[in-house]
Amino acid sequence: MMEDTSSDNFKNVITKEPEHIKPEMVIENFAKSYPIPVPNTYQRVITKLGRIFGTCGVCCFLCSNPYEEVQQGEVGLIRRFGALQRTVEPGLSYVNTWSERLTRVSVKITIADIPAQSCFTRDNVSVVITSVVYYNIIDPQKAIFSIADIHTAIMERTQTTLRDVIGNRVLQDVVEKREEIAVAIESIIAKTAFDWGVNIESILIKDLSLPPKVQESLSMAAEAKRIGESKIINAKAEVESAKLMRKAADILASKPAMQIRYLDAMQSMARNAGSKVIFMPSSNEVERMASSISGQVPTGQEEVSENLTGSGLDPRSIENNISLQEAIRN
């Protein structure tokens, strides 16, 4: 019973497909054969001699070894009499030493540094841009036999496209939208590169240099923008402060507030026992007193004049006080 259980578990482990492996992560199989013309007599003789000497090379070190090694990340292209015969995967591959030749092609991602390029924007500003291209070969046959130097072709194509894309944009877009520019360049190059058997992984803009005068103007514009924003903030703060001060002034000018301040002043003066305090009547009281003396006191204010007379106050002194206040006002 235990053996059956372990065998069932082993089968489950072997047959279960890993969930984290995606189809695009599987390495592409480049091994394939290509049709070749029917060999003539000379080609058949050379091929047979190569097989004979290759067999001897396996046993004897004096003869060349017919097996050649292809490293991981590479693809081997075997040509017989110059014509592509087959493509081999990494590992040992048999190569006829007399009639066949092996060409190794790297399918790993290659990093190509694009030299600094001087470009003119749409508003006639000169900028120097340094970029980098990541690409890999997906069709070794096209990459080797359709173009002489795939690396140089990718670099030249990138430089030309970079100048064209930068020339259609203004300086502000070039400075602020680097990723968008890189994507635009990649979309243009990818179509041509695919016909060459190459896949463009990505294009990045490493550095962007501007003339000193342009840098100074941009820094001044940024500083002016910051100053303007700070002024706006200060103006808003002053407006809010003025509103609060207006509210405070309205509150202090109210009658209850004036009475409270009057009582506080009376209390503070009363604390000094040795001081002599002269109370000056307010302007309203003085006007009422003057009206009562001149006989123009309205109803309800006669009691005030009677109280003044009964209290022993001299109307003349009141008039003098009124004259004194008017002189002070003038």
Domain boundaries, the chain: 32-106, 110-210
The rounded distance, in Å, linking the Cα atoms of 144 and 197 is 9
pLDDT, residue 84, reads: 86
Say how many C-beta atoms besides its own lie within 10 A of residue 201's C-beta: 14
Q: What average pLDDT does the segment 293-320 reach?
A: 50
CA nearest to 141, candidates 192, 80, 79:
79
The rounded distance, in Å, linking the Cα atoms of 140 and 196 is 9
One DSSP character per residue, 107-171 reads: -S-EEEEEEEEEEE-TTS-EEEEEEEEEEEES-HHHHHHS-S-HHHHHHHHHHHHHHHHHHTS-H
Amino acid identity, position 252: L
**For the whole model, what pTM was predicted?**
0.53
Q: What average pLDDT does the segment 26-33 reach?
A: 56
pLDDT one-digit tens code per residue, 39-96 = 667 666 666 766 666 666 555 555 667 788 889 889 999 988 888 888 888 888 888 8
Any idea which of 29-38, 147-156, 258-267 has the lowest mean pLDDT?
A: 29-38
CA nearest to 94, candidates 141, 57, 144:
57
Q: How far is CA 119 from CA 58, 59, 124, 207, 216, in A?
A: 59, 63, 9, 13, 19
Q: Which residues, other chains included, contact 129 with Cβ-Cβ below 8 Å and sequence gap of 6+?
A: 116, 117, 119, 162, 166, 205, 207, 208, 209
Do residues 87 and 107 make contact, with C-beta atoms less than 8 angstroms apart?
A: no
pLDDT one-digit tens code per residue, 103-133 = 999 999 999 998 888 888 888 888 889 999 9
110-210 belongs to which CATH class?
alpha beta
The rounded distance, in Å, linking the Cα atoms of 178 and 167 is 14
User: What phi and psi values does residue 247 have, to the nearest 5 degrees?
Assistant: -65, -40
pLDDT one-digit tens code per residue, 238-256 = 888 888 887 877 776 776 7
Please say whether the dihedral angle defined by the alpha carbons of residues 165, 166, 167 and 171, taken in this order, is positive or negative: positive
Q: What average pLDDT does the segment 174-198 reach?
A: 90
